[in-house]
Structure 1
Amino acid sequence: MGNSRVWTGRWKGGRTFNGKDGRPVFVLRKMVQGRAYTVYLDARSETEAEAELALFLRDPEGYRTRQEARQLKQEAAVYLTAETVGRFLESMRNAGTTARYVGNVGFYLATWAEALAGRDLRTVSLQELLRELARHPTGRKNRITALKSFASWLREQGALSLAEDPTVSLKVPVTRPEKAMREKGYSIETTERLYRALSGWEFKNFNQEATRRMTDVQCVRDVLCIHAKTGMHGTEIERLARGEGKVAVLEEPGEIAATVTFIHKSGNVHRQSIDRQTLAAVQRLQARGAAPVDSHIRRVVGRACKKLGIEPVRLGEYRHSFVTWASECGQEVRPKTGGLPLAAIAAVVGHHSANTTKRFYDNVKVPPMIKIPIRLEHPEDPVWLPVRAAALRLVESA
């Protein structure tokens, strides 16, 4: 206190003096268990000072003035920023999480960061999270999973307590019953409309101008093309895009332009013939080095579906669509050199089942191709210019 202060009065917890603005400053002066405490309170009246006194007496050692409490709260604030998300994603990589999954989580956390910009996560309510989720018609499960994983990591780091975590009561939805109830697959017309509607837009991550760029949509159209024209699994497309397989361009291509070959997890070699458009799509994805992550596909497809006024399309269901189309209107296309179906060969050589013929003799270089009467056209698609692909390593694919 020194001699520079002139006491002007007393109150229940100590004394007062006049501040520079003429208002009384309440000073708490108490002796507790042999220790003298002198605290300058942030109180505007004697009533407020007495309330602070009550808090002090409850825990003298842990007592903080309002200003000190605000400062501590600010220092302990937890924000969803590019820096914290980056550290979280790095921890996922170090734990062996696949790059594709890390990319998906990063995408959804970027959308959360935009919605919660400048907000201390400890002050965010469950209702706010639910309102933000309601703004997005797709990806609810993935958005929730990404945010809950991030919050769990923050708790492990000691930056967030369980009581402060706004995601604790956020439930991950169960999607299986809904999928079982609706009809699988899509029509050729819907697919053609969707392909034409897949167009790009400008965007930026974490509200940072330096990240502004045009959405890469061609890669999504390429994935849709391969799904619709071959019935491949999404994982098979991903492996082909990474170069884990073999693309062989025909010397004299007709409707069949090339074959793609990879080893299934069963150990069997699977070879499939593709047309020029599908070949171009595969080559572009391989030049890119990877297929687009699921979150990017859902975002692009979701915007297109919203524009068309249709329910969100799931590319994973195009295997079912391909089989349906093939059975309803597909045509078998054989290479220029001809060839007969295995069933006909089995009948001639006396095999009871075409499976026997397939098991021992199905090593043709160019198998028949199923042609679907579908036109996938977009004004921004590159011109098909098939180029001979170098032989790529043949590795096992799941």
Structure 2
Amino acid sequence: MAQPNILPYKQPRRELNLREKGRGARSNATGRYEPLTRERTDEDWDALPDEDRKPVRTTVTIERPRTIINKVVSPYVGFDRSINPYRGCEHGCIYCFARPTHAYHGLSPGLDFETKLYAKPDGPDILRRELSKPRYRVRPIMIGTNTDPYQPIERDRKIMRGLLKVLAEFRHPVSILTKSALITRDLDILAPMAERGIARAMVSITTQDRGLARAMEPRCPTPERRFDALGKIAAAGIPTGIMLGPMIPGLNDSELESIMARAASLGASYSAYTVLRLPQEVSPIFQEWLEAFAPNRSKRIMNHIRTINGGKDYDPHWSRGEDSEVKTPFRKLIAQRYYHAQKRTGIIARDQRIPLDCTQFRVPESVSGQGDLFG
């Protein structure tokens, strides 16, 4: 009997920039403000056994800022202040628009962003001091709009929990966005705040495909755990939203309706979506990942993205305008699909929510030294 024609197995060529398990970025390109550019080559790297390559470890540097409340000036967001307990994010989401912020500190928006983190342990004390100032004027504070306050290092450092305790003490309104199930740890603080109308939370779910999520968001909780967290938040009486995004044409946009439907069944009452943004260094980092994860679709996906952005990798005037200003077919289609999904599920848009109550804010007696007239 003739033997089948079996070709000898050939070890695939391993690129240096594909070796970091559990990380999103494939490389660590020099930041745009550095005077020198570093380039890596793969000479002799294929000869190095896997067991001899040391993985990139996460390091945490303590940061002592003078202020903790950030002023936000942007026509594309509906808030004017935020708090970031951490800089950098170990979740490693390949599409994260916050990656370029590491370049301001002489670090790479690539692997450095997800492995060289900064923590602000004095954040709660600084927040208490800022809220106690006579000239402070209360407006809702957003947490989680840059890097995730519930990323893995929060489990031990508990800076976010400390911030929430201060906000509860001052009866200060807060809105949270996270990809982490760790938020359920703080339901004991958030639920009483929600009863007062001063807290709400959104859970970000990009895909229900566990394989895609693991590749795209390597150190985030699985989609199943995030859906479970969403249900627990809603069950605790906290106004709960679902953030769909980013929607990436040809990769995960087909899941928009199914994610919304499942979130609604678990108690989500409001929603929002974003379309992929690739500002500055995020574009080459994302494209490098895309070529590795979906080489057969990468060119088509990038063509869609450039069409959304008027021919560029990113142009906020094209990709971030209001629905009435949408100029491209894909953005129009996403907006229409989102609108119809809202009607089917009963989920309202984020801008239709009941506003958080700012009238209950007060400096507690423990800080002011004065009695609380209203209990």
Higher-Rg structure is 1
Q: Which has the higher helix share?
A: 1
TM-score of the superposed pair, with normalisation by structure 2: 0.21
